[in-house]
Structure 1
Amino acid sequence: MTDQSISATVKNLESAFAGESMANRKYLYFARRCRELGADDVAEVFEETARQETAHAFGHLELLYPPQTLSVEKMLQMAIEGEVYEYTEMYPAFRHTALEEQNQAAVEEMDEQIAESREHAETFFRVLEQAARRFQALAGVEQRHANRYRDALNRVENS
């Protein structure tokens, strides 16, 4: 699907999801820093707000990815695609910019993210392969059960 074929509402939901997700992570970071500074009461406010931001983000996701449309395999494939994009396109482009700006700390961060995104993609791929093997094994078991039931039904019908 090209960006031109995505509705304005879908684009808005994606932006809202990104904003809520970013707020969640930022507030959890702020909470951690508040705890380091001894402001546990403020940390609790940030943590509660982060939980609410997560609920908002999940609401947006349910509209973007209706639960009834998501199989385990589809979710794993989407995760693989996202991680591959991160380590092949997104982070390398960010790294290039950081290099041009001579921001070594950002270059190192991007290098870590490239490696971790590759690991994540490989992990999701292994899980997808394992799920496929389990499904194939289960299909064989189900076929044997179906054959037994069909044979039993035939015996009943023929007697």
Structure 2
Amino acid sequence: MTKQESVTVKNLEAAFAGESMAHMKYLHFARICREQGDEATAKVFEETAAQEIQHALGHAELLFPREKLGVKEVLRYAIEGETYEYTEMYPKFRHAAVEEGNSAAAAEFDEQIGESKDHAGLFKRTLEIAAKRFAALAKVEEKHAKRYETTLSAVAAK
């Protein structure tokens, strides 16, 4: 069974999305409560939001285990996600909003298309910079390795 076919992976993705949404929704609710003068309820929502993000991070660790991912992989995941958002997801959402006459949602989706495109570009530039940095480090490490090899050969020859 591949990762895409795994019911457990699909459940983890749904749980990750749900916990992430709960986190943001509760922060939004806290703002509403605070604006209406109910500081105690706002704090309850904020405390619960902090727990929800911990749940989401636990699911993320199972979906994207840190011991199996490096900088290049996480940047590629980010580029893929942001590209999907601005090329497919938000344009479809925008189209539906226009069809329904919801201009506020259409405007929100337009804004998100632009921001997702910017984010993808940022991640692409970061990946390019990281690749150059890794290449430079590899050259330095190769130089050090050769020096150690020469020294080791000299010591072994004695």
- TM-score of the two chains, using structure 1 as the length reference: 0.95
Give the counterpart letter for 1:151 in structure 2.
T
Deviation at 1:2, TM superposition (A): 8.3
In structure 2, the partner of 1:46 is: 45
1:13-92 map, 5 Å: 13-92=12-91
Separation (CA, whole Å) in 2 of partners of 1:35 and 1:124: 35
* Equivalenced residues, count: 158
Residue 104 of structure 1 corresponds to: 103
Task: Give the C-alpha shift of residue 69 in structure 1.
Answer: 1.0
Letter in 1 for 2:118: E
Cα distance, 1:43 vs structure 2: 0.8
Deviations 1:77-133 (A, max 9, x none): 000000000000000000000111111111100100000000000011111111111
Runs of 5+ in structure 2 lacking a partner?
A: none
Report deviation, 1:135: 0.4
> Cα–Cα, structure 1 residues 2 and 122, in superposed 2: closer, same or farther, change >3 Å?
farther
Q: Which residue of 2 aligns with 1:121?
A: 120
**TM-score normalized with structure 2 length:** 0.95
2:65 partner letter: P
Q: Root-mean-square deviation (CA), in Å?
A: 1.5
In structure 2, distance between residues paired with 1:2 and 1:26: 33
In structure 2, what is the Cα distance between the partners aligned to 1:123 and 1:10? 28
Moved more, 82-91 or 34-43: 34-43
Give the Å deviation of 1:148.
0.8
**Residue 133 (1) aligns with residue 132 (2):** yes
> How far apart, in 1, do the equivalents of 2:92 and 2:130 lie?
33
Identity %: 61
CA–CA distance in structure 1, aligned partners of residues 2 and 99 of structure 2: 30
Following superposition, the deviation at residue 140 of structure 1 comes to: 0.7
Structure 2 partner of 1:6: 5
Q: Which runs of 5+ in 1 are unaligned?
A: none
Q: Which moved more, 1:57-66 or 1:46-55?
A: 57-66
Provide the rounded CA distance (Å) in 2 between the counterparts of 1:156 and 1:142: 21
Displaced runs of 4 or more, over 2 A: none
CA distance in 1, matches of 2:69, 2:157: 43
